[in-house]
Amino acid sequence: MPMISISFGHMDWNKTGAWRAQRPFYEDKTPPCSAACPVGNDIVAFIQRMTEGDFEGAWNLIKEENPFPGICGRVCFHPCESKCNRGAYDEPIAIHALERFVSDFASNSNKKIKKVPGVRKGKIAVIGSGPAGMSCGYHLARLDYDVTVFESSSLPGGMLREGIPSYRLPKDVLDREISNIAELGVEFRTGMPFGENLKLEDLKNYQAVFIATGAHQSRGLHIPGEGGKSVLSGLDLLKKINVCKKVKLGDKIAVIGGGNTAIDLARSVIRLGKKPTILYRRSKEEMPAFEDEMVEAIEEGVKIRYLVNPIRIQQKDSMKRLECLRMELGEKDESGRRRPVPIPNSSFFFEAESVIIAAGEEIEVSFLPKGLEKKEGIVLTQRDGSTGIKGIFAGGDLTSTQRTVAHAIGSGKKAALAMDCYLKGKDSEDALRQILIGEGPSISIFRHLHPEERRMNPHVVTFEELNTDYFEPLERRRESKGVVKKRIKGFGEVTSGFTDGSALEEAERCFSCGTCNGCENCYVFCPDASIMKTEEVFSRQVDYDFCKGCGICFSECPRGAISLKEEAR
């Protein structure tokens, strides 16, 4: 008789799985970051690669969806971070900084995208080399099309080059990401303004056309004196500064407007030694400019006066004299913001040597093909970018009031897929629906190209669905910024990227919502040893012969990557 009650036989014959009333199974779900990303980046997947130290793998994953990680990592307003579940726990993951890190890593180690060999399926013209046009061209080239991108300026980039100051987006970062697209075989033809050197009739050899000419016309204030000397159009001035950095301006400058252009202008002229004051007719809360930009602008000495509306611009000696009204906030308007209402008898004068009007941008319609439907300042398209005219697609700022780089990239990508469907005679709406991230509107080209991989339930993982017992509060890593004194002396980049160490630490903060990262909590907790692991390899499989359906794996999964369903009998 042995020392203890022990059976040298085993219990494998006892298939306890027969007791099961509910079945656990591994099922990746949509993380809120990706669902919020207008570009459709697979954020959780690329961060997971980073935690494995595989920065190149992370870069490859980003490139599946987005040709511009270096650009987005710097200038995107990162809605992914606002939706990050970690935000409800301590602070969201610094996704933008990780994306930038991966891009800088790829650049430093000279990683290039390889041209896809294979027969080209057709020729497509893209008009406009901004983020929408280039994104469209990039994805079309990956779908085996010959693409020519036409650009009116002498260099490609559109708003990325002309509208974003280099202290936010250095030109070499832009050039390197454009050259990556060119490496794919996309042809850029610059100095070809649409409607002038290039007409729609010239594009007969192309089977489809994507128009992404942007919104480049400064909106006027429609007040007396607006056309006078030393009253400048915001976007035009910004372009000049961005391209040649030399402009003639007075010392004291009034910038009128509250958007990103106004902030970019104020920060740019400060770098030219001027003293800008932003005049905005609503309050801080309503300002459409991104919060981070505003913070940096104020750090650098930009003055902002809220609830002030100019009604007349006059000349007084060498100065411009702005007659302004003080405003207060009234009822909400159609944009959901409180409408500014003038306070009676509140007029006052604000003097400046130059006045810059940055009250928004509008699209130019003169050169657009006849027959394009327009409404409220944009060209109307279906969600796949198709217009009423066969073979003509449109995207970017031209077709949207959400004028961000990320939205433009996303619209170019969607149009690329739609044009592929159009040329193959397939239903693009159907194709889009297959690859929506969550409920959309963003899509995943990766899933279009690899339908069997990275499948996930469209359900977006909520904070409540996570088991946060397995996480510890950890401070968000921050990118370092140059000191203000040095910053305002030139147009050098303000923000420095992560070091390898802080990038890894930040990546490891990611909850990996909805995506199994092999933490093996399920394996550890399963009381029936029914999570299969052979040769130290975690299989993400349940042994249904023995799983009793207790659901512990489901409830102990920190990230909601296991689902539970009632067992069919």
Partner 1 sequence: MKKVITGNQAVAYGVILSRVDVISAYPITPQTTIVEELSELTASGRMKTVFLKVESEHSAMAALIGASTGGVRCFTATSSHGLAYMHEMLHWASGARLPIVLVNVNRAIGPPWNIWSDQSDSLSQRDTGWVQLYCEHNQEVLDTVLQAYRIAESVKLPVMVVLDAYVLSHTSEAVEIPTMEEVDAFLPPYCPEYPIDTQEPMAFSTIATPDHFLEFRYKLQKAMEQVPEIAKKVDDEFKSRFGRRYGAIERYGKEETEILLITSGTVTGTSRTVIDKLIGKGVSVAGIKIKRFRPFPIEEIYKEIKGAKKIAVIDRNLSAGVGGIFAQELRASLYSREQRPQIFGFISGLGGRDITPELIEEAVQYTVDHPRPEEEILWLGLKR
**Residues within the interface to partner 1 (CB under 8 A):** 1, 3-12
At 4 the three-state DSSP class reads coil
CB of 14 to partner 1, least distance (A): 10
- The full length of the chain comes to 569
Pick the closest to residue 420 from 212, 130, 207, 213 (CA basis).
207
User: Rounded to whole angstroms, how far apart are CA atoms 176 and 172?
Assistant: 6
d(CA 395, CA 503): 34
As given in the structure block, the two tokens for residue 494 are 């303000």
DSSP string, 322-371: EEEEEEEEEEE-TTSSEEEEEPTT--EEEEESEEEE-S-EE---TTSPTT
User: If DSSP codes are grouped into helix, strand and coil, which group holds residue 26?
Assistant: strand
Q: How far apart are CA 264 and CA 255, in angstroms?
A: 10
For partner 1, the closer CB: 12 or 376: 12
Smallest gap from Cβ 12 to partner 1, in A, equals: 7
Between residues 7 and 108, which has the closer beta carbon with respect to partner 1? 7
| Cβ distance to partner 1 smaller for residue 8 or 110 | 8
- Distance of closest approach, residue 546 Cβ to partner 1, in angstroms: 12
Pick between residue 155 and residue 474 the one whose CB is nearest to partner 1.
474
CB of residue 553 to partner 1, shortest distance in Å: 18
Of 449 and 529, the one with the shorter C-beta distance to partner 1 is 529
What's the min distance (Å) between Cβ of 9 and partner 1?
Answer: 7
Which residues have a Cβ under 8 Å from the Cβ of 406 and sit 6 or more positions away?
A: 37, 38, 39, 72, 76, 77, 79
Nearest approach, Cβ of residue 483 and partner 1 (Å): 37
Contact between 501 and 44 under an 8 Å Cβ cutoff? The reply is no
Helix (H/G/I), strand (E/B), else coil: 542: strand
Q: How far apart are the first and last CA of the chain?
A: 44
- Min dist. Cβ of residue 499 to partner 1 (A): 23
Closest approach, Cβ 560 to partner 1, in A, equals 22
By C-beta, is 196 or 536 nearer to partner 1?
536
At residue 295, the 3 state secondary structure works out as helix
Peptide bond into 441 cis (omega under 30): yes
Residues forming beta bridges with residue 562, ordered by sequence position: 26
| Cβ proximity to partner 1, 5 vs 205, nearer residue | 5
Number of other CB atoms surrounding residue 18 within 10 Å: 10
- CB nearer to partner 1: pick between 501 and 527: 527
> Which residue, 21 or 529, is less far from partner 1 as judged by CB?
529
Beta carbons within 10 angstroms of residue 486's beta carbon:
10
State the Cα–Cα distance between residues 497 and 503, nearest whole angstrom. Answer: 9
Q: To the nearest whole angstrom, how small is the minimum distance from the Cβ of residue 11 to partner 1? A: 6
